[in-house]
Amino acid sequence: MTVVETGLDMGEKTFRFLVEGGKVTAGPPLGPALGPLGLNVLAVAEEANRQTKEFSGMRVPIEIIVDTDTKKFTVKVGTPSTSALLASAAGVQKGSGTAGKDFVGDLKFSDVVRLAETKRADMRSKTLKAAVKEVIGSCVSMGIKIDGMNPKEVVKLVDQGKYDEFLGEAK
């Protein structure tokens, strides 16, 4: 957990937590950090759960901005890691211990594009194609096939333009 005081108004504090989507409680880590501010920690937990329910079972970064004068708060939700999103999409608990030799799952290319679109704001990729290639790189290290193929082969096909129709790019 990180606590950052922001702005000129010393009554505003920002707290950052890594929580399990849809399972935030008023206990640790929220309770000990927010309770001393006189905040209704249960209300904060309920709002965090409402906003993170789509990431159920995944670790999600959240930011809670508190106005210590008015006791009002704002919850901002980040996105889980690429590997967490891939594991969820592929229906696996974790990646392969011997990636490249053993594969633990298989995704459709359209799933990879959807994940790249979800994570794109957090990536340094300038194009959707570059973001997709980053996600495919994570598939390589996790041992997840794409359309039944080794992800290294899929990267070659992306570079050759075979998937441009999925990426909204003209050949």
Contacts with 88 (C-beta within 8 Å, 6 or more apart), sequence order: 57, 58, 80
Q: CATH homologous superfamily of domain 2-77?
A: Ribosomal protein L11/L12, N-terminal domain (3.30.1550.10)
Instruction: Work out the pLDDT band at 1, boundaries 50, 70, 90.
Output: low
User: What are 27-33's contacts with CB under 8 Å, separation 24+?
Assistant: 29/1, 30/64, 33/1, 33/3
Whether 113 contacts 153, CB under 8 Å: no
Fold of the 82-167 domain: Arc Repressor Mutant, subunit A (1.10.10)
In the predicted structure, residue 7 carries a pLDDT above the cut 60:
no
pLDDT, tens digit, 9 for 90 and up, residues 54-81: 888 888 999 999 998 898 999 999 989 8
Strands of 21-154 (E only): list them. Answer: 59-67, 72-77, 105-107, 144-146
In the chain, where does the domain assigned CATH 3.30.1550.10 lie? Answer: 2-77
Written as six digits, the tokens of 25 are 């409680």
Contacts of 57 (CB under 8 A, 6+ apart): 20, 21, 22, 88
CATH 1.10.10.250 domain extents, the chain: 82-167
pTM above 0.85, yes or no: no
Average pLDDT over the chain reads 88
The pLDDT tens digits of the residues spanning 11-23 come to 789 999 999 999 9
